[in-house]
Structure 1
Amino acid sequence: MSREQWRELAREVLRRSGVDAASPEEAMATATYDGITLAPLYDAADLPAGPGLPSAAGREPGRPWEVRQRHETADPEAVMTDLENGADSLWLAVAPEDLPRVLDGVLLDLISIVLDAGPRTGQAAEALLALAGDRAGALRGCLGADPLGHAARSGAAPDLSGLGRLARLCADRLPGMRAITVDATPYHEAGGSDAEELGCSIATGLAYLRALTEDGIAAGEAFGLLEFRYAATADQFATIAKLRAARLLWARVAEVCDAPPAQYQHAVTSAAMMTRRDPYTNMLRTTLACFAAGVGGADAVTVRPFDDALGLPDDFSRRIARNTSTLLVEEAHVARTFDPAGGSWYVERRTADLAEQAWAWFQEIETAGGMTAARGLVADRLAATRARRARDLARLRPPIVGVSRYPDPAGSPPARAHAPRPAEGALPRVRHAQDFEDLRDLADDARPRVFLATLGPAGEHAARLAFARGLFEAGGVETVTGAPGDFAASGAAVACLCAGDRRYAAEAADAAALLREAGARWIWLAGRDRYDGVDAHLYAGCDVLGVLRTTLSEVTA
């Protein structure tokens, strides 16, 4: 089939949907938060110019990614259980004095270890060195120094002065360890786009390279002391393109510095996409994200437990998290193929476009003086993207399954022990479902109810009735259905009319008057047309959060 034949078929489908489009590509295109246009169809003409993208490829073929489990509390039993059941890497966000207990009995030379001790990284490194003893030369992993990432998390002033000492410690006594983590996930969790996350990571990596070379570390050696951490989301193609683009960008920096182009990548399933309500759907999100990270070539992958947003994981959720990687590696053979997305017209184009946008953002940061000087610029840029994303999420673009779409009205989150509370920082930590879940929490206390007043036979109102019910249930609002005359006995204070357009034209105004006489404080109508007595409307694409907030306000008035 030629592209023109596809266009004719697409025009016909659009015409049947009520869209008269001269260009189906434009009518069906979507745009990302980075301004990249995603077309409905790609062919060889969309491939980026040049000889190809070999530097976008990641892990060498046949080598599986490290299954890296995160531990935020000193629980040696949980650590040992992970290592005995599939994990081969530990990410330890514990205090340096807890390391001897956490690693008691662990064969340190058989796994990789990543420390996450913030400003106490030097102490954690010394504690690990003491534990390793004469096996220190066999240790693998990363000491995890990341002063700029810590500053983004905590709001503290970044101090890069100790990076050279840690680099020399690795060179002299820990040759298998990297010294520095470039953690880009704070920018993702603050609501940033993919290009913003990438640009911040490259600017951060360059800041660390400058600090190391100024301290006497050769550029080629400095490149090998860094590893990069990125968020992996359930948007699999976005994640694949992001990891591939990250390697392209870093290879560009390496070329200028005459250094090896490789970038070691640690992908972490996104904290922003996790939900508290209906948390079991998070298993699907993290599986998609893990798959995308593997296809994108990540060297290590951390799958967040499905109950991550609720607190500390239990044994079952930790098991599911590590088994997600194991299943994809051992049964699905995702790691067997080298750069499986390479050569895809769509993925190659998206990778190149994303790299271009990220490089432009990186240059803005550099023009502003680098990551240390541009913290205000970065915060403002992320805030703008965060606001745009929030507006879209309020309109169910995209919907969040189990929360804003198909919620379980009777479901309640499982109880979990509280996780260590992160410090308030320079950048906020947001979850996409947070606003909807906050409303559900309010509704749990208020037990609000809306009366869905139907007009005409079921065939006329069924679609709008189902739409309105799902919308209100996303805010934890109970719905009761009946004819307008049944409102007084329903115990509700808010009503919503549900019918077809012809029925509305004949009966909506009278039905609204009847509801108002029966005591309705606020009357919605499922549809866009205006009628006397109706206060506001709900429809596909409306501000669902606004509808729910107004409803809760009227119910609890």
Structure 2
Amino acid sequence: MVAHSKSSGVGPELALAADFPEPTHEQWQAQVAKVLQRSGLVGDDPAGPVEDVLATTTYDGITVRPLYTEPAGETGVPGLAPFVRGSRPQGSVAEGWDVRQRHDNPDAAETNREVLADLHNGVSSLWLRLGRGGLAVDDLADALDGVHLDMIGVALDAGAETTAAADALFALAEEQGVRPHALRGTLGADPLGWQARTGQAGDEEEAVALAERCAGLPELGALVVDGLPYHEAGGSDAQELGCSLAAATTYLRWLTEAGIDVETAARLVEFRYAATADQFLTIAKLRAARRLWEQVTRTCGVAERARGQRQHAVTSPAMLTKRDPWVNMLRTTIASFAAGIGGAQAVTTLPFDAAIGLPDSFARRIARNTQSLLLEESHLAQVIDPAGGSYYVESLTDELAKAAWAWFQRIEAAGGLPAALGSGLVADALAATWEQRRTAIAHRRDAITGVSEFPDLDEPVLEREPAPEQPGGGLPVHRYAEDFERLRDAADAQPTRPTVFLATLGSLAAHNARASFARNLFAAGGVACTDAGATESTADVLAAYDGAPVVCLCSSDEVYADRAAETAEALKRAGARQVLLAGKPSGTGGVDGYVHAGCDALAVLTDVHEQLGVRR
């Protein structure tokens, strides 16, 4: 619609929607109710608001609603407290975020080739795993041969050998003639992260000594608060945030008790968070993390200018799959996007084959290029806080911050993170969340593309050189796909592919939808399917039956009513040990179980494996 404006002096202007009446919330509800009624999701007279049907709940108990009409929580402006909208006034516009690639190959020569290739092709800082689980500390100089330490940042991750790694870095800088003041990155001391990973108490004195060493260096941090151990143990976003905040608070206590002023102590700490393919939760998590840190540092007396949080976001190792690893490219792209939008200063995109072993050059290139495309072609960093003003994101940030703060208070009430790790408080809470997550994955409410949904039985398995074994003994390390992938591995190890017979009843139109569903479900456990095709009678099904111990009936409800019980009994007489039916439980005679949307697919597949004699 075109409206003529006399005030502009430049002729007609487009009013767009300005001349239309603003729709009310009640009108929106009425339209949504019509759609849900046509879909069969609600009756003609819904018992409650239609929003309840569309709402989902996170693992922190936060209800995600389909529509948000009001802002929530304090957001401020970029660069000022509470730093929800970013730690810097200009956001990422000035220079983007730091593209940080991880290196853990124990071969120093190969690591050097990978490092130089990364730096030549867009990476701006390095994350080096050293000691147990990575490159030998003594090989650091060889791995960084040709690298100018005054031009790139280095984040060390050396566990129990942190001091030795720091000594090696400073020695290399001195050899290059680089003054310590020019060094950027972090020495990576994380005693509580080490305790979480290994169950062994970290070295407080080492952390304090390294902090004192870096106190006068403006761009080099000493400590890292790593949220990945809690994330990989199956924890929720709020649990990861709360544990991270408790670790950082402990580090502040240690440093200030050693005589380091609180502002310097806060500057020396960098936070590492997991970025997942749930882009809005990742954006909200990074925003909530800055708000929580600002609250702690403000209470400790830190000046506003020094309350911003240094964030390093890593695409989640837990979400990566070994099966159909190409889908990991999509997962890590979404996660990297969310990390950048969420305001992380450094982002690591893990290669798509990282769950299989040491990444190859192609996978590393794809990981680099993912961020290059986001920065240079999508121009994400040229907008200050793109998520700002979204009622959904701001509400999610507010609720996530409150849930994380409540968990942080529980940890503090238990004596702080060291005590909570030692008593099992943290482990028990994370284990409970993991069981909830595991159940959702088993029922395919949390679908994993290429693994629990749309698996490809003919997919060739990628092979990679094994990655170094990481220190363990503390919190468990999970991947979301691990249960389904164990079934796939067991099925693949059999001399012949285990098979289920689909007893397709009726015409193609009658059985195709449920046969496709069943074939997809069984493939998630590495089980192939044969089928009877179009059949007109039980005799047709028996003529096509190949003797498989497990059979699944597939057809429409109408055909089931006529033929399912009779066909099931006939198949059992022909040798079938177990007869399933694709559809909701209906009390059909002769049927031993049902497969349907929302069923416990993992339990069904485990039982089918047992019936077929599949051994792990």
Which bracket does the TM-score occupy, shorter chain normalised?
Answer: over 0.9
SS in 2 for 1:295: helix
Aligned counterpart in structure 2 of residue 97 of structure 1, from 125, 130, 138: 138
Cα distance in 1, alignment partners of residues 167 and 244 from structure 2 = 27
Instruction: Say yes or no: does 1:445 pair with 2:493.
Output: yes
The one-letter code sitting in structure 2 at the alignment partner of 1:550 is D
Which range moves more in the overlay, 318-327 or 72-81?
Answer: 72-81
Q: Which residue of 1 aligns with 2:16?
A: none
Tell me if structure 2 keeps the 8 A contact 1:306–1:321: yes
Cα distance in 1, alignment partners of residues 565 and 379 from structure 2 = 62
Tell me if structure 1 keeps the 8 A contact 2:319–2:479: yes
Cα distance in 2, alignment partners of residues 81 and 532 from structure 1 = 65
The one-letter code sitting in structure 2 at the alignment partner of 1:38 is V
The one-letter code sitting in structure 2 at the alignment partner of 1:552 is H
Report matched runs for 1:163-174 at 5 Å.
163-172=207-216, 174=217
Aligned counterpart in structure 2 of residue 549 of structure 1, from 606, 609, 612: 606
Cα distance in 1, alignment partners of residues 471 and 92 from structure 2 = 40
SS in 2 for 1:374: helix
TM-score, with length taken from structure 2: 0.88
Cα distance in 2, alignment partners of residues 519 and 406 from structure 1 = 30
Runs of 5+ unmatched residues, structure 2:
1-22, 131-135
CA distance change for structure 1 residues 490 and 556 in 2, over 3 Å: closer, same or farther?
A: same
Aligned-pair distance for 1:492? 1.6
Report matched runs for 1:403-422 at 5 Å.
403-422=451-470
Report matched runs for 1:373-522 at 5 Å.
373-375=419-421, 376-446=424-494, 447-482=497-532, 485-486=541-542, 489-522=545-578
Cα distance in 2, alignment partners of residues 534 and 163 from structure 1 = 63
Aligned-pair distance for 1:342? 1.0
Cα distance in 1, alignment partners of residues 340 and 498 from structure 2 = 44
Tell me if structure 2 keeps the 8 A contact 1:487–1:515: no
Instruction: Say yes or no: does 1:317 pair with 2:359.
Output: no
Q: Which residue of 2 aligns with 1:55?
A: 83
Report matched runs for 1:206-217 at 5 Å.
206-217=249-260
Aligned counterpart in structure 2 of residue 531 of structure 1, from 569, 584, 588: 588
Report matched runs for 1:4-15 at 5 Å.
4-15=26-37
Aligned-pair distance for 1:460? 1.4
Cα distance in 2, alignment partners of residues 5 and 306 from structure 1 = 45
Cα distance in 2, alignment partners of residues 50 and 338 from structure 1 = 14
The one-letter code sitting in structure 1 at the alignment partner of 2:594 is H
TM-score, with length taken from structure 1: 0.97
Tell me if structure 2 keeps the 8 A contact 1:487–1:518: no
Cα distance in 2, alignment partners of residues 50 and 206 from structure 1 = 23
Cα distance in 2, alignment partners of residues 141 and 497 from structure 1 = 60
Tell me if structure 2 keeps the 8 A contact 1:403–1:436: yes
Tell me if structure 1 keeps the 8 A contact 2:76–2:85: no
Aligned-pair distance for 1:486? 4.0
Tell me if structure 2 keeps the 8 A contact 1:488–1:518: no
Q: Which residue of 2 aligns with 1:372?
A: 418
**Largest Rg, 1 or 2:** 2
Cα distance in 2, alignment partners of residues 297 and 276 from structure 1 = 29
Aligned counterpart in structure 2 of residue 342 of structure 1, from 376, 388, 394: 388
Aligned-pair distance for 1:491? 4.4
Q: Which residue of 2 aligns with 1:148?
A: 192
Q: Which residue of 2 aligns with 1:262?
A: 308
CA distance change for structure 1 residues 128 and 347 in 2, over 3 Å: closer, same or farther?
A: same
Tell me if structure 1 keeps the 8 A contact 2:547–2:576: no
Aligned-pair distance for 1:48? 2.9
Aligned-pair distance for 1:462? 1.4
The one-letter code sitting in structure 1 at the alignment partner of 2:73 is P
Residue deviations 1:345-398, cap 9 Å, x none? 000000000000000000000000000000110000000000000000001112
SS in 1 for 2:100: strand
Tell me if structure 1 keeps the 8 A contact 2:505–2:555: yes
SS in 1 for 2:417: coil
Tell me if structure 2 keeps the 8 A contact 1:88–1:112: yes
SS in 2 for 1:408: coil
Tell me if structure 1 keeps the 8 A contact 2:215–2:268: no
Aligned-pair distance for 1:487? 6.7
Report matched runs for 1:28-67 at 5 Å.
28-44=54-70, 46-48=71-73, 55-58=83-86, 59=88, 60-62=91-93, 63-67=95-99
Aligned-pair distance for 1:158? 2.3
Cα distance in 2, alignment partners of residues 535 and 90 from structure 1 = 56
Cα distance in 1, alignment partners of residues 140 and 151 from structure 2 = 17
Cα distance in 2, alignment partners of residues 185 and 334 from structure 1 = 25
Residue deviations 1:146-195, cap 9 Å, x none? 011011111212221222210111125x4421000000011001000000
Q: Which residue of 2 aligns with 1:234?
A: 277
Instruction: Say yes or no: does 1:123 pair with 2:148.
Output: no
Q: Which residue of 2 aligns with 1:162?
A: 206
Tell me if structure 2 keeps the 8 A contact 1:158–1:372: no
Tell me if structure 2 keeps the 8 A contact 1:451–1:496: yes
Aligned-pair distance for 1:54? 5.2
The one-letter code sitting in structure 1 at the alignment partner of 2:206 is G
Instruction: Say yes or no: does 1:244 pair with 2:287.
Output: yes
Tell me if structure 1 keeps the 8 A contact 2:231–2:240: yes
The one-letter code sitting in structure 2 at the alignment partner of 1:252 is Q
SS in 1 for 2:581: strand
CA distance change for structure 1 residues 487 and 270 in 2, over 3 Å: closer, same or farther?
A: farther
Tell me if structure 2 keeps the 8 A contact 1:279–1:413: no
CA distance change for structure 1 residues 387 and 491 in 2, over 3 Å: closer, same or farther?
A: same
Q: Which residue of 2 aligns with 1:68?
A: 100
Tell me if structure 2 keeps the 8 A contact 1:227–1:266: yes
Residue deviations 1:281-338, cap 9 Å, x none? 1000000000000000000000000001100000000000011111100000011111
Runs of 5+ unmatched residues, structure 1:
none
Instruction: Say yes or no: does 1:84 pair with 2:120.
Output: yes
Q: Which residue of 1 aligns with 2:17?
A: none
